[in-house]
């Protein structure tokens, strides 16, 4: 990949901050982003705009109307698309030279090692299913690939409550607690950099005043979410990974 693109010097402001050596490090780096929802989509955006040269994108899901409130890839024009396809189009619109590998699959024990095959400098875990998070972290650990893992961003309203710590030092977050427990069972106790929130989860307001309108035919699924909280978690993940890549 050349640093100078035909449409102008795209990386000028980045180079002013991290220098040509840092910029070249990012262009040579390969990062997997597993999960392209509210957290993963914003992490991916930052990696592409920072100039990470090679990315592996993993998500089995398609974009749907309930994603519009928080997911960067979700637009009325992209509804129905596979998330990996929307991500590929957006990434290449930002940097046509970025190298992309897409996996429209659910990450599990049967495919995880294949997904992580080849040179990878980092893995971002933006999955929201405990079993898949544990499988991904375990595979990355066995392959010697560093992991940055996102914990719960649902049912949260305070974007300033996020912290970065080793998974063993996390508190409050129910998802972090569940992942810690499952990893301990397979002998993994530390070494997992984590973005998590110290804000206690809010209860759903569905059925209360200000919640779902009476008679609405749409039944809510999953947990409550809002635009700005998962975005912050994704940006923190990307910042963590980019700084580690620059320091390597």
Is 207 exposed, middle or buried, given 0-12, 13-18 or 19+ CB atoms closer than 10 A?
exposed
pLDDT beyond 90 at 222:
no
Q: Give the C-alpha separation, 1 to 24, whole Å.
A: 10
Residue 205 has what pLDDT?
Answer: 61
Instruction: Provide mean pLDDT across the span 82-97.
Output: 97
Q: Taking 60 as the threshold, does the pLDDT of residue 207 lie above it?
A: no
The predicted structure's pLDDT at residue 9: 85
d(CA 84, CA 105) in angstroms, rounded, equals 9
Token reading at 4: 């100078």
d(C-alpha 29, C-alpha 61), whole Å: 26
pLDDT digits (tens, 9 = 90+) for 148-162: 999 999 999 999 999
pLDDT beyond 70 at 2: no
Do the beta carbons of residue 86 and residue 78 sit within 8 Å? yes
pLDDT at 74 over 60: yes
For 222, residues 6+ apart whose C-beta sits below 8 A from its C-beta are: 66, 154
User: Which residue, chain included where needed, has tokens 């200000």?
Assistant: 210
Condensed to tens digits (0 to 9), the pLDDT of residues 11-56 reads 999 999 999 999 999 999 999 999 999 999 999 999 999 999 999 9
Superfamily of domain 31-209+220-247: NAD(P)-binding Rossmann-like Domain (3.40.50.720)
Phi-psi region of 81 (alpha: psi -120 to 50; beta: other; left: phi over 0): beta
CB of 237 within 8 A of CB of 148?
Answer: yes
Mean of pLDDT values over 119-125: 97
- The token pair at 51 is 């100039």
Give the torsion sign (CA, 74, 76, 77, 82): positive
Lowest mean pLDDT among 3-12, 45-54, 145-154, 202-211: 202-211
**Other Cβ atoms within 10 Å of 72 Cβ, number:** 23
pLDDT bracket for residue 164 (50, 70, 90): very high
């Amino acid at each position: 990949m050349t640093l100078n693109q035909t449409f102008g010097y795209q990386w000028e402001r980045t180079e002013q901050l991290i220098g040509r050596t840092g910029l070249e490090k990012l262009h040579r780096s390969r990062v997997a982003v597993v999960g392209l929802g509210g957290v993963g989509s914003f992490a991916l955006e930052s990696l592409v705009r920072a100039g990470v040269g090679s990315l592996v994108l993993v998500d089995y899901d398609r974009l749907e109307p309930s994603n519009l409130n928080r997911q960067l890839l979700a637009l009325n024009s992209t509804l129905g698309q596979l998330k990996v396809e929307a991500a590929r189009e957006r990434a290449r619109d930002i940097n046509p030279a970025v190298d992309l590998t897409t996996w429209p699959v659910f990450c599990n024990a049967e495919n995880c090692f294949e997904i992580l095959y080849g040179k990878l400098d980092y893995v971002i875990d933006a999955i929201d299913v405990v079993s898949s998070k544990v499988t991904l972290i375990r595979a990355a650990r066995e392959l010697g690939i560093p992991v940055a893992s996102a914990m719960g961003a649902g049912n949260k309203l305070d974007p300033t409550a996020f912290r970065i710590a080793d998974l063993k030092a996390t508190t409050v977050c129910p998802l972090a607690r569940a992942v810690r427990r499952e990893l301990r069972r397979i002998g993994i106790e530390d070494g997992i950099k984590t973005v998590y929130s110290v804000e206690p989860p809010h209860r759903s307001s569905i059925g209360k005043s200000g919640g779902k309108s009476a008679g609405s035919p749409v039944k809510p699924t999953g947990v409550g979410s809002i635009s700005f909280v998962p975005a912050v978690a994704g940006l923190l993940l990307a910042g963590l990974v980019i700084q580690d890549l620059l320091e390597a």
